[in-house]
């Protein structure tokens, strides 16, 4: 079965069966694949650390250097950040978990020491809001498209006398226009 026959069998709209339609579909599939890949990476996150040094680095990347402008403890060259990295390593070696270590810094500095907001209280807004915005956008797009379609079906190409309610023409002009359209239709083969 040729690709054209396959396209005909699924009865795609005519505008999707042309060359431009195929390219558009391919582009759409690439975009969808990209979005799915991004979601998978975001959900899975980084691979788990295998050494204490890697784990210490990973914890440091989640903490904000307290005396820097928006630098993580892992990236900051400040001596205080270096001390924080050392403390993280020592506490990991002493058997503390990543959450316990972060909680110690939060106890001293508050939630602002975390580079990502906490999954509780006001911090939850940061995680929920993007989904709300995307959902609102999809809803808005759907309503606009639906409204556009209705408007299009409500004003079909006129085959007779133009609708006086939607015309700015005078009655005489509308009559002349109707006559001209009628002549044109008669001349059509």
**According to the binding rule CB under 8 A, does residue 138 interact with other proteins?**
no
In the bound state with other proteins, the residue whose beta carbon lies nearer, of 12 and 106, is: 106
Give dist(CA 163, CA 177) in Å, integer: 12
Token pair recorded at residue 126: 């940061």
Q: State in angstroms the smallest separation of the CB of 130 from other proteins.
A: 9
The residue whose two tokens read 């002009």 is 173
In the bound state with other proteins, the residue whose beta carbon lies nearer, of 21 and 66, is: 66
**According to the binding rule CB under 8 A, does residue 112 interact with other proteins?**
yes
The residue whose two tokens read 């001390």 is 83
Cβ-proximal residues to 175 (8 Å cutoff; 6+ apart), any chain: 161
**According to the binding rule CB under 8 A, does residue 143 interact with other proteins?**
yes
Give dist(CA 57, CA 74) in Å, integer: 6
Give dist(CA 25, CA 2) in Å, integer: 18
User: Contact region for other proteins (CB under 8 A) — 5-13, 51-59, 78-86, 95-103?
Assistant: 78-86
Give dist(CA 79, CA 151) in Å, integer: 65
Q: Which of 28, 35, 39, 80 binds other proteins (CB under 8 A)?
A: 80
The residue whose two tokens read 């808005």 is 140
Q: What phi and psi, each to the nearest 5 degrees, are found at residue 156?
A: -70, 160
Which string of x and - marks every residue 11-40 that binds other proteins (by CB under 8 A)? Answer: ------------------------------
Q: State in angstroms the smallest separation of the CB of 46 from other proteins.
A: 25
Q: Which residues, 47 to 66, sit near other proteins by CB under 8 A?
A: 64, 66
Residues contacting other proteins: total by CB under 8 A: 29
Long-range contacts of 79-87 (CB under 8 A, 24+ apart): 84/60, 85/56, 85/60
Token pair recorded at residue 128: 């929920």
Q: Which of 8, 150, 176, 185 binds other proteins (CB under 8 A)?
A: 150
**According to the binding rule CB under 8 A, does residue 106 interact with other proteins?**
yes
Positions that interact with other proteins (CB under 8 A)? 64, 66-67, 79-80, 83-84, 86-87, 105-110, 112-113, 125, 129, 132-133, 136-137, 140, 143-144, 147, 150-151
């Amino acid at each position: 079965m040729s690709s054209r026959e396959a396209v005909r069998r699924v009865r795609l709209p005519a505008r999707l069966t042309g060359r431009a339609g195929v390219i558009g579909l391919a582009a759409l599939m690439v975009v969808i694949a990209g979005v799915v890949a991004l979601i998978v990476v975001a959900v899975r996150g980084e691979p788990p650390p295998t050494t204490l040094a890697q784990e210490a680095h990973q914890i440091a990347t989640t903490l904000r250097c307290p005396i820097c402008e928006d630098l993580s403890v892992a990236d900051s060259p400040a001596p205080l950040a270096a001390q924080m990295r050392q403390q993280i390593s020592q506490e990991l070696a002493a058997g503390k978990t990543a959450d316990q270590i972060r909680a110690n810094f939060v106890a001293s500095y508050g939630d602002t020491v975390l580079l990502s907001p906490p999954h509780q209280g006001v911090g939850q807004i940061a995680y929920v809001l993007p989904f709300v915005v995307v959902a609102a956008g999809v809803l808005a797009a759907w309503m606009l498209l639906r409204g556009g379609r209705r408007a299009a079906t409500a004003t079909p190409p006129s085959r007779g006398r133009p609708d006086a309610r939607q015309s700015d023409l005078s009655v005489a002009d509308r009559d002349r226009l109707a006559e001209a359209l009628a002549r044109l239709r008669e001349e059509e083969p």
